[in-house]
Amino acid sequence: MNRYIPFPELQRRTPASVEELSELLRQAAASSTPVYPIGGGTALGYGGLPTKPGWGLSLQGLRRVVDYPARDLTITVEAGLTAAELQALLAQQGQRWPVDTPQPNRATVGGLVACNLSGPRRYAWGRLSDYVLGLTAVDGQGMVFSAGARVVKNAAGYNLCRLLAGSLGTLAVIAQVTLMVKPLPETTAFVVGDLEDWDAADRLLSSLGEVRVLPTAVELLAGPAWADDPWLGRIKPTAKARLAIGWEGSAKEVAWQIEQVVSAWQTEGVRDVQTVPDSDAQKVWRRLTEFSVPPSVEDVLANGLPPGPGRLASPCPDDPRENGISEVAEKWLPQQADGGGEGDGFLVVQASVLPSRVLPLMARWLQMDRQVSILAHAASGGLVGYFPLGTMEAVRWVREWIFPSIVAQEGAGQVLFLPSGVVLGPEDLWTPSPGQDRLVQAIKQRFDPQGILNPGRLGLGV
């Protein structure tokens, strides 16, 4: 469990079967005991924090492989199986689950489905929920139900798989999942170039369509976290950002696409274009995937960010809506010196916008705070920003600057992690808050009438 998250006292429960899980939830519903499902504990900071004592429901006892017909490109596993275990098993048959997974040795399949977060490969491979063919889960009354099927083509019944994906365990506890898998690619590589201005970024992104290539990921990198990357090298001091294009596939098709892009970039005047071959490209993929998870005390350099304690906070500007972003006041506030847990000193925010709005939002964030580190999935419209803010600043920044900047681009935002000691209400964790939607409230009432499953996580329940 992430130590920086102030969980209440929890009694551990570890069911070893779906039947035991069902009985535990029936008992919890009868006694109105809050239940907090826990997979690998890598995403416990997402959403609202629990405030009431209850049961910490570990899924570690449910980790069997139920069925693996490799020729059908499907696999059925229990929810407690880790992503690393799943990928190792699939690799033996030359296959993989094409989903970006931070901390794969801890993250569980059920937890990943419950969070439904996407990474750099979403542009080519789609969302995590696109690979969930079926599942078995237990609702807040202890009733076991199944949805979907163990086949790729299936359109029977309501799509409860999509409903539970991203619900953060507030509707039901996922016990078993059937996944669609894909063949392993022969090779992978990146092409990387520094961008002197945002116009250059726009031209290069537009040129991808003109040269008719099909990349797996189109990533824009900016901020201190990417200033001197061990595999991508040092960004030029004059550059606004760095563009990294990733491919996966056969050696011939990857080589041909790289040749096309390098030629197009040179025509646009981009100098020092860098190609990252397979061996180092694998490390770049891991780096991009892990960026959404704040570094722990033991691994503070996991995503290139220095530890929180001792950092300087970002400038605290006069209201940029009145004075203009370019007139940010040069006031530097010292970071809190205590703490030392995961995520200390960083407010981590995720935004989803149209791809055409990625550059304006990225530029806005960098103007608001020169020390923000950003990873933008430029072709799919996702951004993750690390704002090095202290405890006193985080709430104000979310309300007055960060979320308004996302709304101005007609997007949606979510706080992924908070600095130690910061607690936000549901209205400050999302824009808009899912708990305020009447349809969401009605669905919650149907699946969990007693409100025992992760109360408060999505602004639902008490």
> Whole-angstrom Cα distance, residue 387 to residue 268?
32
Q: Which of 15-19, 150-154, 168-172, 370-374 has the lowest mean pLDDT?
A: 150-154
Among 333, 348, 341, CA closest to 309: 341
> In this model, does residue 361 exceed pLDDT 90?
yes
Segment 217-254, tens digit of pLDDT:
999 999 999 988 888 888 888 899 999 999 999 999 99
pLDDT band at 458 (very low <50, low <70, confident <90, very high): confident
| In-domain check, residue 274 | yes
111/38 same-domain check: yes
**pLDDT of amino acid 6:** 53
Segment 408-434, tens digit of pLDDT:
999 999 998 887 777 787 778 998 888
**pLDDT of amino acid 446:** 94
Give residues with Cβ within 8 angstroms of 379, minimum separation 6: 123, 205, 208, 215, 217, 218, 355
pLDDT band at 370 (very low <50, low <70, confident <90, very high): confident
Domain count within the chain:
3
Q: Read off the tokens for 26.
A: 């029936």
Q: Over the chain, what is the mean pLDDT?
A: 83
369/280 same-domain check: no
Give the structural domain span for 336.
320-431
**Which CATH number covers residue 86?**
3.30.465.10
Segment 67-80, tens digit of pLDDT:
999 999 999 999 99
State how beta strands 430-431 and 412-417 pair.
Answer: antiparallel
> Whole-angstrom Cα distance, residue 272 to residue 37?
49
76/205 same-domain check: no
Mapped onto helix, strand or coil, the DSSP state of residue 248 is strand
> Whole-angstrom Cα distance, residue 136 to residue 130?
17
277/383 same-domain check: no
Place of tokens 């304690």: 309
67/104 same-domain check: yes
22/123 same-domain check: yes
**pLDDT of amino acid 84:** 96
252/269 same-domain check: yes
| In-domain check, residue 297 | no
438/452 same-domain check: yes
180/210 same-domain check: no
Cα-only R_g, the chain:
22
Mapped onto helix, strand or coil, the DSSP state of residue 380 is coil
The model's pTM is 0.85
**Which CATH number covers residue 222?**
3.30.70.3450
| In-domain check, residue 414 | yes
38/158 same-domain check: yes
| In-domain check, residue 306 | no
Give residues with Cβ within 8 angstroms of 241, minimum separation 6: 194, 195, 201, 220, 221, 222, 362, 374
| In-domain check, residue 49 | yes
Segment 142-159, tens digit of pLDDT:
999 999 866 655 555 568
pLDDT band at 52 (very low <50, low <70, confident <90, very high): confident
> Whole-angstrom Cα distance, residue 359 to residue 367?
12
> In this model, does residue 388 exceed pLDDT 90?
no
The dihedral formed by the CA atoms of 179, 378, 428 and 436, expressed in degrees to the nearest 10: -60
> What is the rounded average pLDDT of the residues 48-54?
82
114/162 same-domain check: yes
